Amino acid sequence: MLTIFGLEDERLLPVGRIEALPAGARAVWFDLVAPAPDEDRRVEDLLGVSVPTREEMQEIEVSSRLYVEHGALYMTALVQVGSETDEPTSSPITFILVGDRLATVRYDRPKSFDLYATRGERGFEGLIDGRGVLMGLLEIIVDRLADSLERTGGTIERISATVFRPRAEREKGLEEVITAIGRLGGTVGRTEECIVSLTRLFHYLGEENGAGRLDGPAKARIVTLEADARSLSDQAKSLDAKVNFLLSATLGLVGLEQNTIVKIFSVLAVVFMPPTLIASIYGMNFKAMPEIELPFGYPMALGMMLASVATTFAIFKWKRWL
């Protein structure tokens, strides 16, 4: 799908075809979402640039994600998708800056694009061309990454409170907690990938390849975005360390619970060892066993068994092994 955004009085006007723009409006943003071949060709004809394929956008080399071709600046970065859900994903999005016009190519629908388009229809002060659209998109992408990290941090705190509660007060079993921690680790890892990818884009856009294409306010916004990305990277690393600590602590608690179970069985085995020995002795059925002939022999054997159990248990309590 191709949406063309015209600009009129600092407001974005979305249309399907450039001919539909009102008189006086100028096309500044060409947004391609899972484009069909004919939509690719239309944008290529309008802007005079080639549109990268999905496979080209998924290349991981920096030289394949950040480059200049025929005077146009190509920048591909991973953007978080579904950041408001429990399991956000990431998707590569290409930004093509052609003079003062912008084209975006994406095969997913991060909410940041819809939010920016909706706000842009109401108008942005100082929005004069595609470079302003690019800055606004990057800023809202970073804002949503920050929101995602805040939500992840809150989830980590809740899980931490669950892990370190007494066992009887836990709402979830440790197996469920480990599963939740694993999902959190994946979320933090994908968020870090997005931050690293965007940081490279900001650096590239702020250096010689992009500096000559931006005006003064846009350069200042890029500097701010770089600083924000660095702070988000530090926050993501901190959350990653917390997740690893939680995982280690939870696995340690699992080990302690297993040791407690093994300890109980070991104590029971030792406690019932003396009565087992007594029962084994009197179960040999030798003829020369005078206790067997005694009228109180059976109660005596039971008493010896109970006494041995009580004595062993008392020794364990005295040694504080229980």
Q: How far is CA 175 from the centre of its chain?
A: 19
pLDDT < 70 positions in the chain: 19-24, 168-171, 208-212, 322
Question: Residue 29 to residues 14, 35, 51, 96: CA-CA distances in angstroms?
Answer: 9, 15, 14, 10
- Going by their DSSP bridges, the two strands 2-8 and 11-15 should be labelled as antiparallel
Residue 223 is part of a domain; what is its CATH number?
3.30.460.20
Residues 205 and 279 reside in one and the same domain: no
Is residue 102 domain-resident? yes
Cα 136 from Cα 134, distance rounded (Å): 5
- Last-in-domain residue among 257, 290, 310: 257
The single-letter DSSP state of residue 124 is: -
The set of residues, in sequence order, having a beta carbon less than 8 Å from that of 158 and lying 6+ positions away, is none
- Please count the CA atoms within 13 angstroms of the CA of 132 that sit on its side-chain side: 18
How many CA within 13 A on the CB side of residue 172?
A: 16
Residue 198: strand, helix, or coil: helix
Is there a single domain that holds both residue 312 and residue 190? no
Q: Mark whether 25 and 67 lie in a shared domain.
A: yes
Structural tokens at position 286: 């030798």
CB-based contact 177:74 (threshold 8 Å): no
| Burial bucket for residue 236 (CB in 10 Å: 0-12, 13-18, 19+) | buried
Number of structural domains the chain divides into? 2
Collapsing DSSP to helix, strand or coil, 320 comes out as coil
| Residues 160, 278 share a domain | no
Residue 262 inside a domain? The answer is no
Domain boundary among the residues 211, 233, 257 is at 257
Rg (CA), the chain: 35
Residues 228 and 161 in one domain: yes
Of 257, 286, 304, the residue that ends a domain is 257
Mind listing the pLDDT tens digit for each residue in 35-44? 888 888 887 8
Q: Domain of 303?
A: 272-318
- Residue 125's pLDDT is what? 72
- Do 175 and 290 belong together in one domain? no
- Least Cα distance to 22 among 9, 41, 39 occurs for 9
172 backbone dihedrals φ, ψ, rounded to 5°: -125, 155
Question: Is residue 242 one of the residues assigned to a domain?
Answer: yes
317's torsion region: left (phi>0), alpha (psi -120 to 50) or beta?
Answer: alpha
Tokens of 221: 């916004």
State the Cα angle at 290 between 285 and 294, rounded to 5°. 105
Do residues 206 and 286 share a domain?
Answer: no
**Residue 265: inside a domain, yes or no?**
no
Residue 23 pLDDT:
67
In-domain check, residue 266: no
Say whether both 152 and 296 belong to one domain: no
- Statement to judge: residues 225 and 303 lie in one domain: no
91 neighbors 81 (Cβ within 8 angstroms): yes
Q: Which of 92, 100, 39, 48 has its CA nearest to residue 69?
A: 48
- Do residues 245 and 293 both lie within one domain? no
16 in a structural domain: yes
Give the residue among 239, 240, 150, 232 at the shortest CA–CA distance from 199: 232
DSSP string covering 57-115: HT--SHHHHEEEETTEEEEEEEEEESTTSSS-EEEEEEEEEETTEEEEEESS--HHHHH
pLDDT of residue 44: 81
Render pLDDT for 81-115 as a digit per residue (tens, 0 to 9).
887 777 788 888 999 888 888 888 988 888 888 88
Please check whether residues 143 and 224 belong to one and the same domain.
yes
User: What pLDDT score was predicted for residue 210?
Assistant: 64
Same domain flag for 56 and 174: yes
117: its two tokens: 């388009």
The answer to whether the Cα torsion of 157, 163, 166, 169 is positive or negative is: positive
